[in-house]
Amino acid sequence: MSGLVWASLATLAAIHQEITWMWVWLLVALVVDGVDGTLARRTRVAEIIPWFDGVIVDIVVDYLTWTFIPALFMYLYLPMGAGPVKALMLILILSSSMFCYANKNWKSTDYYFVGFPAAWNIVALMFYVLGTPAWVNVPVTIILAILTLVPTHYVHPARVKRFRALNIASAGVWLVASSWLVAIHPSRPLPLVAGVVIAGGWFMLVGVLRSIRGADEAARA
């Protein structure tokens, strides 16, 4: 439930051009999203409020924080082409993401995401800290929207067993480097940029390898 608070604060920050605070609230929402399910199970919320479906709340919060708010940010503040093109990119992101959230087979048996997992907060953050131009942002957005419907694979750093230690370490490097770049934006020190690009590239590589080789049943978590 608290995820809706952070989503609201992130939306207000985006509207009022407080970009750093928007990313702060989205980060808080991301952290809360990682622990709220465990806390709900430990406190037996389902037994106390049996009519309340926490799964639906999670989907609503995820759509807001992973998709809607980042898409709004991209429309308002990132180079996404001329006005009509920007509007089309916004519509494309929001509509294609629904196929991710409504996909019953969104996770493989070895815990990879199947199809691009509508992680537009990560995409928007990469565009922002790297300062990529419209001729990069628009094609990448179109490709990722299409990949939502394609059964390619994307690593979950904590759940995928193969390379788990390296995946978690890479996630830590990416988080620290990207957060630092947000804090000092628009400065882009090469070591921080390298950290973001290399860590992100590692995740893409792991996903590509999984898509090529198929499921590794021995690597189930």
CA pair distance 32, 28, nearest whole angstrom: 6
Residue ranges of alpha helices (H) inside 63-189 are: 69-77, 83-101, 120-130, 134-147, 164-184
CA pair distance 211, 221, nearest whole angstrom: 18
For 79-95, the three-class secondary structure string (H helix, E strand, C coil) is CCCCHHHHHHHHHHHHH
Q: What integer pLDDT is reported at residue 34 of this predicted model? A: 64
Token pair listed for 151: 């059964």
55: buried, middle or exposed (CB in 10 Å: 19+, 13-18, 0-12)?
Answer: exposed
- Residues 199-213: tens digit of each pLDDT: 999 999 999 999 998
Helix, strand, coil percent values for the chain (each to nearest 5): 70, 0, 25
CA pair distance 24, 65, nearest whole angstrom: 12
Q: What integer pLDDT is reported at residue 158 of this predicted model? A: 85
- Residues 87-133: tens digit of each pLDDT: 999 999 999 999 999 999 999 989 999 999 999 999 999 999 999 99
- Residues 4-36: tens digit of each pLDDT: 999 999 999 999 999 999 999 999 988 887 666
pTM, 2 dp: 0.91
**Domain boundary assignment for the chain:** 1-151, 155-220
175: pLDDT confidence band, cut at 50, 70 and 90? very high
Among 10-14, 45-49, 76-80, the minimum mean pLDDT is found in 45-49
Do 84 and 133 touch, CB atoms closer than 8 A? Answer: no
Dmax over CA atoms of the chain, in Å, equals 52
51: pLDDT confidence band, cut at 50, 70 and 90? low
Mean confidence (pLDDT) of the chain:
90
221: pLDDT confidence band, cut at 50, 70 and 90? very low
Q: What integer pLDDT is reported at residue 8 of this predicted model? A: 96
Do 126 and 200 touch, CB atoms closer than 8 A? Answer: yes
